[in-house]
Structure 1
Amino acid sequence: MSEKIYFNTSNKFSLKRSLVNVSTRLHHRLAPTHARNTARKLLLTPVRNQPKNHQPEGVVKSTIASKEGTLTAYSLGQGPVWVLTHGWSGTASQYFPLMEHIARQGYTALAYDHPAHGESDGLYGHIPAFVNGLDAVLDSVDEVAGLVGHSMGTASAIECRHSKLVDKPLLLIAPVLDYLENLFSSVARSGYSMRLFHAVVEELQEQYHYPLQSIDPYQKLSQRSKKTIIVHDENDKFTKFSVSQRAANEMENVELVATQGQGHGRVMMCQQVMDSFDRLIAKSND
Structure 2
Amino acid sequence: MNLIEIIAGTALNGVSRASGRLAGAGAYTLFHMPLARSGMRDSERGLFAAARTERIKVGGKSAVTYRWGGGERPVVLVHGWQSRASRFADFVPGLIERGHSVIAFDAPGHGDSTGRSTTVLEYRDILCELQHRYGDFDALIAHSLGVVGSFFALRSGVRAERIVALSGVCDYAYLVEEFSSALNLRPALKSALLDRIGQNLFPGMPVDRVPFSAVHTTEDITAPILVLHDEDDSRIKVTQGRRLADAFGDRARLVTTRGLGHRRILGDPEIIRAVVEFVEHGPVGATMPQSAGHPVA
> In which range does the TM-score fall when normalised by the shorter chain?
0.7 to 0.9
Is residue 176 from structure 1 mapped to residue 134 from structure 2 by the alignment?
no
- Distance in 2, matches of 1:273 and 1:221, equals 26
1:274 alignment counterpart? 273
What's the CA shift string for 1:40-79, capped at 9, x where partnerless?
A: 4432211221124423163222212334532101112232
Residue of structure 1 equivalent to 2:27:
39
2:226 matched residue in structure 1:
229
- Indicate the larger mover: 194-203 or 80-89: 194-203
From the superposition, tell whether residues 238 and 217 of structure 1 become closer, same or farther in structure 2 (CA, over 3 Å). Answer: same
* 2-structure distance, mates of 1:168, 1:152: 21
| Alignment partners' CA distance in 2, 1:236 and 1:258 | 10
**Cα deviation, residue 239, structure 1:** 1.5
1:159 match: secondary structure: helix
Query: Hey, what does 1:49 align to over in structure 2?
Result: 38
Matches within 5 A, 1:1-286: 23-32=11-20, 35-46=23-34, 47-52=36-41, 53-55=43-45, 56=47, 58-78=50-70, 79-160=72-153, 161-165=155-159, 168-208=161-201, 210=203, 213-221=210-218, 224-248=221-245, 251-271=249-269, 272-283=271-282
User: What's the offset of the Cα at 1:237?
Assistant: 0.8
Partner AA of 2:38 in structure 1: N
Q: Please list every run of 5 or more consecutive structure 2 residues that lacks an aligned counterpart in the other structure.
A: 286-297
Q: Taking structure 1 as reference, are residues 256 and 222 closer, same or farther at Cα in structure 2, changes over 3 Å only?
A: farther
Superposed displacement of residue 204, structure 1: 4.5
Aligned to 2:293: none
Q: Report the residue type matching 1:74 in the other structure.
A: Y
For 1:59 and 1:3, the matched residues in 2 are separated by 38
Give yes or no for contact 1:85–1:154 (8 Å, CA) kept in 2.
yes
Output the CA distance in 1 between the equivalents of 2:165 and 2:80. Answer: 11
C-alpha distance in 1 between matches for 2:241 and 2:4: 24
Conservation of the 8 A alpha-carbon contact between 1:229 and 1:280: no
Identity %: 18
Decide whether aligned partners of structure 1 residues 21 and 245 sit closer, same or farther in structure 2, where only a CA change above 3 A counts: closer
CA distance in 2, matches of 1:54, 1:199: 41
- One-letter code aligned to 2:131: L
Asked if the contact 2:63–2:107 (Cα under 8 Å) also holds between the matched residues in 1, the reply is yes
- 263-272 vs 241-250, greater mean Cα deviation: 241-250
> Given the two structures, how large is their TM-score scaled by the length of structure 2?
0.79
Given that residues 170 and 241 in structure 2 are in contact (C-alpha distance below 8 angstroms), is that contact kept between their aligned partners in structure 1?
yes
What letter is aligned with 1:24?
Answer: L
Report the count of equivalent residues: 273
Contact 2:170 2:240 in 1 (8 A): yes
Alpha-carbon RMSD across the aligned residues, in angstroms, is 3.0
Query: How far apart are the structure 2 equivalents of 1:23 and 1:71?
Result: 31
The corresponding residue for 2:295 is: none
CA change 1:22–1:80 in 2 (3 A) is: closer
CA deviation string 1:200-223 (max 9, x = no partner): 443454344536714011342575
Larger RCO (alpha carbons 8 Å, 6+ apart): 1
Helix, strand or coil: the match of 2:250? Answer: coil
